[in-house]
A and B are shown apart, each in its own frame.
Chain A
Amino acid sequence: MIPKLELRNLSKSFQTNGRNIEALSGISLQVDAGEFVTLVGPSGSGKSTLFNLIAGLLEPDKGEVWLDGQLQRERTGNFGYMPQRDLLFPWRSVTDNVAIPLELVGVNRGAARERAQEMLVHFGLEEFGGSYPSALSGGMRQRAALLRTILTEQDVLLLDEPFGALDALTRRELQDWLLEVWQEYSKTLFFITHDVEEALYLSDRVVVLSARPGHIVEILNVNLPRPRRPGMIARPDFGQQAAVLLKALGIRD
């Protein structure tokens, strides 16, 4: 079977203050259709850089991005990209924020708004549709940002630490919600987090990056049944797998 997303030997370095800093070196990875793959790694290991390379915001020094067996050159617009900050536009209502991807592909404003409103109902955000984003809590803002990403109607979603700034309770809630959304829309998810527990709870596979220059040091097939349940984090095999990831991250117990 052709992998949904394939990264072939991606490398990237940056010039800062005349020094050459190697951010990523030789990243190769295959992600299957409908798979939930999570990337963990220390700060500065180039996780966000990798997403920027895939999304087409940066060009790699070496290597290739393949989607559905096709080499991707001009690839902006071929992935649903959700950066760390929700980046909801403060001058647009929640509905109009969510409708942005539709407007960009030429759907007229009225129809885009109507479609966005239907989706807001489905996402439990209908009462906030007319509000400006500043009136929303952090969790609600992330929901709206994810909905905006889904409306790009791309198969592969790149979610860069979407729950990083949320409190622990909201985070739990949104993790379960994300799993539901993933099931319902049968998307391929590539997810970034710092949190080993979050990575295990959500993913089919967890990819561990080393410190700079980031390269893959471990790929773990998560051995937990689906659907995932909050109680699973208390299982002994959950702890064992977390230990494997922590060890790969260089943290010893």
Chain B
Amino acid sequence: MYLANSSRLRKPNNRFARNFLPPLLLILFLMAIWQLVADRGGLSSFILPSPLEVALAAWETRDLLLPAIGTTMVETLIGLVIATLLGFAIAAAIDLSATIRRAVYPILVASQTVQILAIAPLLIIWFGFGLLPKVFIVVLICFFPLALNTSDGLASADPEQVNLLRAMNAKRGQIWRMVRLPSALPAFFTGLRIAVTYSVVGATIAEWVGGTGGLGLYMLRSKNALATDQVFVAIVITSAISIGLFFLVYLIERLALPWYHTQARGEAWETT
């Protein structure tokens, strides 16, 4: 009781501090150590550039960097949209027909055992240096967590809720829409969060292997020029985009599933 009350009192004023201060402080601390090691560690900036040098390199190459970010973002977002639609469609098909499940499941798993580094050059040979092979790789990486999580979410629907609607003479489609689909949404969003964290990496790998632009190419050229600081720029920006997308999905999820993200769900564990 005491704990529950105190947390309620603390909550509204310090919500920002509670959510953002810990990661912010930790990141600043790690950056400080990095800067210190780079400055005082006796390493040349070719081996380990300091955070300040990396920031400077980003500023100096901004004319290259901004279009590269744009290219990578376009590939990532198109790939994500297709992967989401495809993953959802596969999950729905698997859920609606046991035959489709048996037929598709092994291929689904096999698709994830394909080596991206091996298939990427092949895709370049088949589809050229344009957008298509990059989007293909993003889709290949991202549809799987979506399909799998959504499929599990659909299967997790409460059979008693299904029976309740059956007793009301509901049709199969109505039961799917009213029970199975909403039951699957939390898992769908978990899949989407995993997918967005993979998506940017997928796009940059594709560019690295055969691109005419994007952060992957920027990374490759920087590496070839032994510009370690610019390699770090690419790494930091790729991560930042991934984190941004992750956060965006999290916000959408909060808005879309208010019934799932109740205050009680978080507090019950935090105050234990």
Instruction: For residue B98, give the distance in angstroms from its CB to the closest CB of chain A.
Output: 21
Contact yes or no, A57 B168, CB < 8 A: no
Report yes or no: B167 in contact with A76, Cβ–Cβ below 8 A: yes
Would you mind naming 11 contact pairs between A and B with Cβ atoms under 8 Å apart?
A57-B163, A76-B166, A83-B164, A87-B161, A89-B161, A91-B182, A100-B178, A101-B168, A104-B174, A132-B259, A152-B168
| Contact residues, A81-107 vs B (CB, 8 A) | 81, 83, 85, 87, 89-92, 100-101, 103-104
Interface size class of A (residues with CB under 8 A): 20 to 34
Give A202 to B264 CA distance when docked, in angstroms. Answer: 37
Least CB distance from A47 to B in Å reads 16
A100 vs B262: C-alpha distance when bound (angstroms): 23
Asked if B158 lies at the interface with its beta carbon under 8 angstroms from chain A, I say yes
The answer to whether A76 and B169 have CB atoms under 8 Å apart is yes
B-side interface size class: 20 to 34
* B168/A77 in contact, CB under 8 A: yes
- A138: Cβ under 8 A from any B Cβ: no
Decide yes or no whether B63 CB sits under 8 A from chain A. no
Instruction: Check A57/B167 contact, CB under 8 A, given A91-B182, A100-B178, A132-B259.
Output: yes
Is the C-beta of B260 less than 8 angstroms from some C-beta in chain A?
yes
A91 to B188, alpha carbons, bound, how many Å?
A: 15
In the assembled complex, the CB of B259 is this many whole angstroms from the nearest CB of chain A, namely 5
B169 proximity list for chain A (CB < 8 A): 76-78, 104
Which residues from 166 to 220 on chain A have a C-beta closer than 8 Å to any C-beta of chain B?
none
Report how far A86 CA is from B227 CA in the complex, Å. 65
Interface pair B178/A89, CB less than 8 Å apart:
yes
Cα-based distance from A243 to B233 in the complex (angstroms): 84
* Minimum CB distance partner of B258 in chain A: A132
Tell whether, in the assembled complex, residue B158 and residue A87 are in contact, meaning their CB atoms are under 8 Å apart: yes
Decide if A70 is an interface residue (CB 8 Å cutoff): no
Bound form: Cα–Cα A85–B160 in Å? 9
Separation of A242 and B182 alpha carbons in the complex (Å):
46
Known: A100-B178, A104-B174, A134-B262. A76 touches B168 (CB 8 A): yes
B81 CB-CB contact with A under 8 Å? no
Bound Cα distance from A91 to B153, whole angstroms: 14
| A81 pairs with B259, CB closer than 8 A | no
Which residues of the partner chain A approach B168 to less than 8 Å between Cβ atoms? Answer: 76-77, 81, 100-101, 104, 152
B21 on interface, CB distance cutoff 8 Å: no
Contacting residues of chain B (127-175) with chain A, CB-CB under 8 angstroms = 158, 160-161, 163-170, 174
Q: Is the CB of A134 within 8 A of B167?
A: no
